């Protein structure tokens, strides 16, 4: 699903175009339109329909590779391409926590690009975070700048598309909520502290905040919602917090990167927002919406955040990372 979304979002992109499609040996050797079961509502781009899929052992002339590989196979394949000198822009989870791989949200931690050794001809990799971690980290970014944070407690409500295709069985999820997603909670907790960490001597020092996450799978097609309780280092003010959220921006907005939202964070219009049905597609799925901002006590905030899991939390995140690299002159 992420791979198809990357293809769709790259259609008519001003900087990048798809030259080659790569897949496992079992899927290679035929036209993309014949091998792919296209599941997006938008039609398959004409530019890729007749492309013949090559297998992962094929030598590639393309320097930049977008990876939407399943984590079950991504590990060795991405390493192999890096060793061959390719730049990997990956959505896979396998190398997100590697010490030499930046885990990037361009509005939040672009300075982590310092991890990349771009002075030789070797390959390297940049990754985007878990889909829920993107939403959480974006919502936390202006809070950290103003107040600092000590603890973050999160309850997620993650859509069915987050499980990929074909996803969670209908019998399990229809009219139901699953209160556990295997492997998801430690992944989100670890990634957030890396994203929010600092660079010292070209190494990431993870943020010291305590992060605790409880995940749920819900019967919504697109959109991950998170309920956040944030303990800050200094006293919080609700109206000031709302201003910080609604005015937050970063390098993608300053440089007007092609896929970047004009406003990465929107405030919900009332107490009943955000909602996946009403808010998930803000700015073509690249903005998150934050609502229910309230003060629990002197140093604790509560808020609810929502983002599009396959766009801002997936394919769009990878493309925005590539645009950041391009704007930095790194590709």
- Angle ∠(51,54,57) on CA atoms, nearest 5: 160
Nearest-angstrom CA–CA distance, 116 and 42: 36
Check 86, 112, 224, 263 and give the catalytic one. 224
Catalytic residue flag (residue 224): yes
Nearest-angstrom CA–CA distance, 25 and 244: 49
Q: Give whole-number Cα distances, 79 to 29, 94, 98, in Å.
A: 23, 10, 12
Catalytic residue flag (residue 263): no
Residue 129's contacts (CB-CB under 8 Å, 6 or more residues apart) are 96, 103, 105, 137, 191, 195, 313, 317
Nearest-angstrom CA–CA distance, 261 and 254: 11
* 3 state SS of 255: coil
Residue 192, classified by CB atoms within 10 Å of its CB into exposed (0-12), middle (13-18) or buried (19+), is buried
Check 131, 207, 209, 263 and give the catalytic one. 131
Burial 86-125 (b: 16+ CB within 10 A, else e): bbbbbbbbbbbeeeebbbbbbbbbbebbebbeeeeeebbb
Give the helix/strand (H/E) hosting 318: helix 316-327
Residues marked as catalytic? 131, 224
């Amino acid at each position: 699903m992420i791979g198809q979304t990357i293809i769709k979002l790259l259609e008519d992109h001003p900087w990048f175009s798809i030259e080659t499609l790569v897949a496992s040996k079992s899927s290679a050797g035929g036209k993309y339109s014949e091998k792919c079961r296209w599941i997006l509502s938008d039609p398959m781009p004409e530019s890729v329909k007749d492309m013949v899929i090559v297998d992962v052992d094929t030598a590639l002339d393309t320097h930049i590779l977008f990876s939407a590989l399943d984590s079950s196979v991504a590990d060795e394949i991405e390493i192999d391409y890096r060793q061959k000198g390719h730049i990997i822009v990956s959505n896979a989870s396998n190398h997100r926590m590697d010490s030499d791989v930046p885990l990037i949200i361009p509005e939040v931690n672009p300075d982590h690009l310092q991890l990349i050794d771009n002075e030789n001809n070797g390959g390297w990799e940049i990754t985007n975070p878990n889909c829920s971690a993107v939403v959480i980290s974006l919502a936390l970014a202006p809070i950290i700048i103003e107040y600092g944070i000590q603890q973050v407690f999160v309850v997620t409500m993650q859509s069915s598309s987050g499980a990929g295709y074909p996803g969670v069985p209908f019998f399990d999820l229809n009219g139901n909520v699953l209160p556990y997603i295997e492997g998801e909670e430690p992944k989100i907790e670890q990634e957030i502290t890396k994203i929010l960490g600092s660079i010292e001597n070209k190494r990431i020092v993870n943020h010291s905040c305590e992060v605790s996450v409880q995940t749920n799978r819900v019967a919504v097609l697109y959109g991950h919602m998170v309920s956040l309780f944030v303990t800050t280092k200094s006293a919080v003010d609700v109206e000031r917090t709302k201003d910080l959220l609604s005015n937050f921006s970063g390098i993608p907005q300053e440089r007007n990167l092609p896929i970047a939202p004009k406003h990465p964070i929107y405030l919900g219009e009332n107490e009943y927002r955000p909602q996946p049905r009403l808010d998930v597609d803000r700015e073509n799925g690249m903005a998150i919406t934050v609502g229910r901002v309230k003060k629990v006590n002197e140093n604790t905030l509560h808020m609810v955040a929502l983002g599009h899991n396959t766009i801002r939390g997936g394919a769009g995140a990878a493309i925005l990372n590539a645009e950041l690299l391009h704007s930095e002159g790194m590709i």
